[in-house]
Amino acid sequence: MKKIKVAIVFGGSSPEYEVSLQSAYTIISSLDKERHQPVLIGISRKGEWFRFSGDIGKIKSDTWCNDYDCVPAVISPNRLALSLLLITDNRVSRESIDLIFPVLHGKYGEDGTIQGLAELAGIPLVGSSVLSSALCMDKERAHKLVLAGGISVPNFTTVGRDYKTDDLLQRATDIGYPVFVKPVKAGSSFGASRVLSSSDLISAVEFAFQYDDRVIIEENITGIEVACAVLGTSELIVGEIDEVELSNGFFDYAEKYTPQKTTIHAPARISADKATEIKDSAKKIYRLLDCSCFARIDFFLSPEGKIIFNEANTIPGFTKHSRYPLMMKVAGLSMETVVDMMIELALDTQSQPLLSDNET
């Protein structure tokens, strides 16, 4: 049986480079090697593309980018080629690929850029489309679409670099302290701050501007953070709801990937009815934002039981501490099964986002 050549793209020049390496290691380790042949494409922090042929442990330890294991490479944009171009000694050779599996978190990976490259090249893609990826990465536009769809979001405002200090301070006061300040387009809590008073607002906004040219200021929601893992395109499978229990602070980058004060409960410590309500909301948001293949939809759950949308992640983490694989595992789907299903969805030419009556 001919093996499917899965081009797994990892690394990248995003601040989430290190997370990408850990996620890619997990996904590569989970591939069914009897059916799938991994074609490993690493992108350095500087943005250099390489065909990596070394031991996958070097990806995990971030020693993969070296002269022995790497050959400069790019994905061919030729729609009739479906291949990787390898550049050695000023010569170009081709290596065929059957689909692209981007494991790139944040900028240049989760924002529609590599999805556009795959679409231009005519290569099947594991994950959401250009439009969906860009929408989900943009917290402002995602919030507006979800709110228009009838699901609650935190009160928020956004500003650009040309903001007026007095106006910004007034808008934050209108929302009410504490507030969260975040880059509009960034993941893994990079550039995010919890601000308790107006005296710290400007410094938090300037910090967020290190990661994007627009900043969102959000209402602090009292309650717990919960999430739902979604898998599928026409028909959707959902994992068990999880819950973040944080003893202090907020769920920042360090706690997401090297947890010290955080416990993830899966399933969440909520009623079955509330879990069902969250799953239904997740599926509705998945459709509203035109997601496909897989995504993790995050929420806040208030003490009164109100469900409030937080964000949608079209390439959630797959590290040993990540929530998406945990929620699927608790629902009875191993990482190996999930990866196999993702690949099958990408190869299924009939897998187009369809809105079914029972998911509106």
Angle between helix 139-148 and 272-288 (nearest 10):
110
pLDDT of residue 256: 52
pLDDT of residue 359: 46
pLDDT of residue 248: 60
Model confidence pLDDT, tens digit, residues 169-212: 999 999 999 999 999 998 657 889 999 999 999 999 999 999 99
DSSP 161: T
Model confidence pLDDT, tens digit, residues 230-289: 999 999 999 999 999 876 655 455 555 555 668 899 999 999 999 999 999 999 999 999
Answer for the pair 98, 124: CB distance below 8 angstroms, yes or no.
yes
- DSSP E strand boundaries for the chain: 4-11, 36-43, 49-52, 70-75, 83-88, 91-96, 99-102, 156-160, 179-183, 193-195, 214-219, 224-232, 236-238, 242-246, 262-265, 293-301, 307-313
pLDDT of residue 96: 97
Beta bridge partners, 301, equal: 224, 307
- CATH code reported for the domain at 156-219: 3.30.1490.20
Looking at the domain covering 135-151+222-359, what would its CATH class be?
A: alpha beta
Tell me how many degrees the CA angle 44-311-224 measures, rounded to the nearest 5.
120
Answer for the pair 24, 58: CB distance below 8 angstroms, yes or no.
no
Architecture of 4-125 per CATH?
3-Layer(aba) Sandwich (3.40)
Domain ranges of the chain: 4-125, 135-151+222-359, 156-219
- Please list the ranges in the chain whose pLDDT falls under 70: 187-188, 247-261, 349-360
